[in-house]
């Protein structure tokens, strides 16, 4: 074969690529992304990813809301609270449960004690208690909650009757708990209590007269104890409870407004972005090339028809048209991919390739092929395409980020795939939930970093390939 790129072969191209710094970086990032993709698909299968992502809030109820990843501590320079989860249904250190029968009454007392150490520099973000009881009818258990701080202060937070067997007590936003706490401390420090005190500040703060007035509290570090004292009205009734003290940081990637851990969309975004970008770029480039070759080779009415269609494509507004289709027909990402390809096959690449084919037509080896009676098909696919393939490849690789960002952009507009977690969708959700205004950097930065990694991998590779196949660029 006389094609200039043909003497390389895949091995040769890779070796050549590795001689450029940008080639090495590009290949390394790409390898990392492929590894993440493989891991994502193996560890969390497609259906599972959708289930985890689309699952109701109940699935992630033990996670904090909009919590930053744990590594932000490095930047903040403080020890930020992790989530503490203590469940009386599992035997674990820190929880003890005793049941006492009250003789002669048929009643029982269930005593659950939670002990935990809290030595973080900030108060938690939320505190909930989830009850699990098997009572029926109207004899709901009565519950009394007592909080003991490291200083030894014991405060009764609440007395109340369960409203349902699986009642949830949102302690941190409970007005009753707040007024109990305030009246406890006011009797201790008779000052005007600031409007800014919250349940969490009083539960975890060093309370003094001054801090009550100002509303600013320092965290009281040490061992805390919460006692749940329940009275149940039948021998068969039992009661368990789970205490969750939500942190402000969670895992390696943090959580979103629905408490979902962000590592799921972050790793699942990789295979989707790669599949979308590569398929779109590959199919579009090859179809464009074939169309351009046909146009240049046959000439005549075929050529002018293709030229007219190319012009038509120029005035079809690509993005609005795509938006129209995805809002009218609610398509998923794979149909979107097909539409993108259909809308790009008569795109800008055709003109240049066609001009190249026009030149090639006059080459002696093509003349020779014609002379010995090679078919049009043979000439196009065996003699012309191999010759024009090398200059097309860098463009193919370089076009991948464009498609990746197209998908992200559509997801940002709310037109992404309705089920799959993608990077664009995370940015969209971060945006619409005010991440930029609330300073939740991680929520935007993480998916953005993944998008940037992907884009740069292909951009670096594209530039390096460009230098390999267009030696003239090497001198410039």
Residues near another protein, by CB under 8 A: 22, 308, 311-312, 314-321, 323-325, 327-329, 348, 398, 401-402, 405, 408-409, 412-415, 427, 431, 436-437, 439, 441, 444-445, 448, 451-452, 455-456, 458-460, 462-463, 472-473, 476
Q: How far is the CB of 70 from another protein (least distance, A)?
A: 21
What is the distance between the alpha carbons of residues 95 and 475, in angstroms, rounded to a whole number?
72
Contact of 298 with 357, CB cutoff 8 Å: no
Q: Return phi, psi of residue 170, to 5°.
A: -90, 85
Q: Is 292 exposed, middle or buried (0-12, 13-18, 19+ CB in 10 A)?
A: buried
- CA-based R_g, the chain, Å: 33
- For the CB of residue 424, give the shortest distance to another protein in the complex, in Å: 10
Long-range CB contact pairs, 470-476, < 8 A, 24+: 470/391, 470/394
Q: Whole-angstrom Cα distance, residue 410 to residue 413?
A: 5
Question: What are phi and psi for residue 227, nearest 5 degrees?
Answer: -110, 125
DSSP calls for 324-388: HHHHHH---HHHHHHHHHHHHTTSTHHHHHHHHHHHHHTSHHHHHHHHTT--HHHIIIIIIHHHH
Q: Which is nearer to another protein, 252 or 324 (CB)?
A: 324
Question: In terms of CB distance, is 106 or 317 closer to another protein?
Answer: 317
Q: Which is nearer to another protein, 18 or 312 (CB)?
A: 312
Residue placing its CB nearer to another protein in the complex, 177 or 408: 408
Cα–Cα distance, 363 to 355 (Å, whole number): 14
* Smaller CB separation from another protein, 155 or 435: 435
**Closest separation in Å from C-beta 45 to another protein:** 30
d(CA 157, CA 185): 12
Minimal distance in Å, beta carbon 24 to another protein?
14
Name the minimum Å distance from CB 225 to another protein. 39
* Closer residue to another protein, CB minimum distance, 91 or 472: 472
Shortest distance in whole angstroms from residue 436 CB to another protein: 5
Q: State how far the Cα of 328 lies from the Cα of 209, in Å rounded to an integer.
A: 62
Q: Which residues of 65-84 are buried (b: 16+ CB within 10 A; e: fewer)?
A: bbbbbbebeeeeeeebbbbb
Minimum CB distance to another protein, residue 320 (Å): 4
* Closest CB 316 distance from another protein, rounded Å: 5
Distance CA 374, CA 364 (A): 14
Which of 111/324 has CB closer to another protein?
324
Closer of 291 and 450 to another protein (Cβ): 450
Closest approach, Cβ 476 to another protein, in A, equals: 5
Cα 300 from Cα 287, distance rounded (Å): 20
Q: Which is nearer to another protein, 140 or 457 (CB)?
A: 457
Contacts with 31 (C-beta within 8 Å, 6 or more apart), sequence order: none
CB of 328 to another protein, least distance (A): 5
Sign of the torsion formed by the C-alpha atoms of 380, 382, 388 and 392: positive
State the DSSP string of 174-202: -HHHHHHHHHHHHHHS-SPPPTT--HHHH
| Residue number with CB closer to another protein (131 or 412) | 412
User: Cβ 414 to another protein, closest distance in Å?
Assistant: 6
108 vs 425, beta carbon nearer another protein: 425
């Amino acid at each position: 074969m006389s094609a200039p790129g043909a003497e390389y072969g895949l091995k040769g191209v890779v070796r050549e690529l590795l001689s450029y710094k940008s080639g090495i970086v590009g290949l390394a990032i790409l390898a990392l992304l492929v590894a993440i993709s493989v891991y994502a698909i193996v560890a969390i299968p497609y259906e599972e990813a959708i289930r985890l992502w689309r699952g109701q809030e109940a699935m992630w109820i033990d996670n904090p809301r909009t919590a930053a990843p744990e590594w932000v501590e490095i930047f903040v320079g403080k020890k930020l609270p992790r989530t503490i989860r203590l469940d009386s249904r599992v035997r674990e250190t820190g929880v003890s449960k005793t049941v006492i029968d009250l003789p002669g009454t048929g009643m029982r007392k269930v005593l659950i004690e939670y002990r935990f150490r809290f030595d973080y520099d900030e108060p938690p973000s939320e505190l909930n208690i989830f009850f699990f009881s098997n009572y029926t009818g109207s004899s709901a258990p009565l519950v009394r909650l007592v909080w003991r701080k490291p200083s030894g202060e014991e405060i009764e937070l609440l007395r109340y009757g369960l409203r349902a067997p699986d009642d949830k007590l949102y302690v941190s936003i409970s007005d009753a708990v707040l007024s109990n706490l305030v009246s406890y401390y006011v009797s201790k420090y008779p000052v005007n209590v600031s409007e800014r005190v919250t349940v969490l500040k009083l539960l975890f703060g060093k309370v003094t007269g001054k801090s009550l007035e100002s509303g600013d509290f320092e965290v009281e570090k040490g061992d805390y104890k919460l006692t749940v004292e329940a009275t149940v009205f039948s021998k068969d009734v039992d009661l368990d409870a789970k205490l969750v003290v939500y942190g402000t940081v969670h895992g390696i990637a943090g959580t979103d407004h629905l408490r979902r851990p962000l590592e799921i969309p972050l790793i699942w975004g990789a295979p989707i972005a790669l599949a979308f970008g590569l398929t779109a770029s590959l199919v579009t480039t090859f179809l464009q090339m074939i169309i351009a070759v046909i146009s240049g080779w046959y000439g005549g009415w075929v050529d002018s028809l293709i030229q007219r269609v190319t012009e038509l494509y120029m005035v079809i507004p690509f993005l609005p048209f795509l938006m129209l289709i995805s809002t009218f027909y609610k398509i998923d990402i794979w149909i979107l991919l097909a539409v993108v390809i259909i809308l790009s096959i008569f795109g800008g690449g055709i003109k240049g390739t066609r001009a190249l084919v026009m030149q090639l037509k006059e080459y002696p080896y093509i003349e020779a092929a014609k002379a010995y009676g090679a078919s049009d098909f043979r000439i196009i696919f065996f003699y012309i395409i191999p010759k024009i393939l090398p200059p097309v490849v860098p463009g193919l690789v370089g076009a991948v980020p464009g498609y990746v960002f197209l998908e992200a952009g559509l997801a940002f507009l709310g037109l992404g795939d309705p089920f799959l977690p993608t990077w664009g969708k995370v940015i969209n959700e971060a945006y619409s939930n005010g991440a930029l205004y609330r300073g939740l950097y991680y929520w935007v930065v993480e998916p953005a970093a993944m998008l940037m990694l992907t884009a740069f991998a292909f951009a670096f590779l594209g530039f390096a390939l460009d230098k390999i196949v267009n030696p003239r660029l090497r001198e410039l």
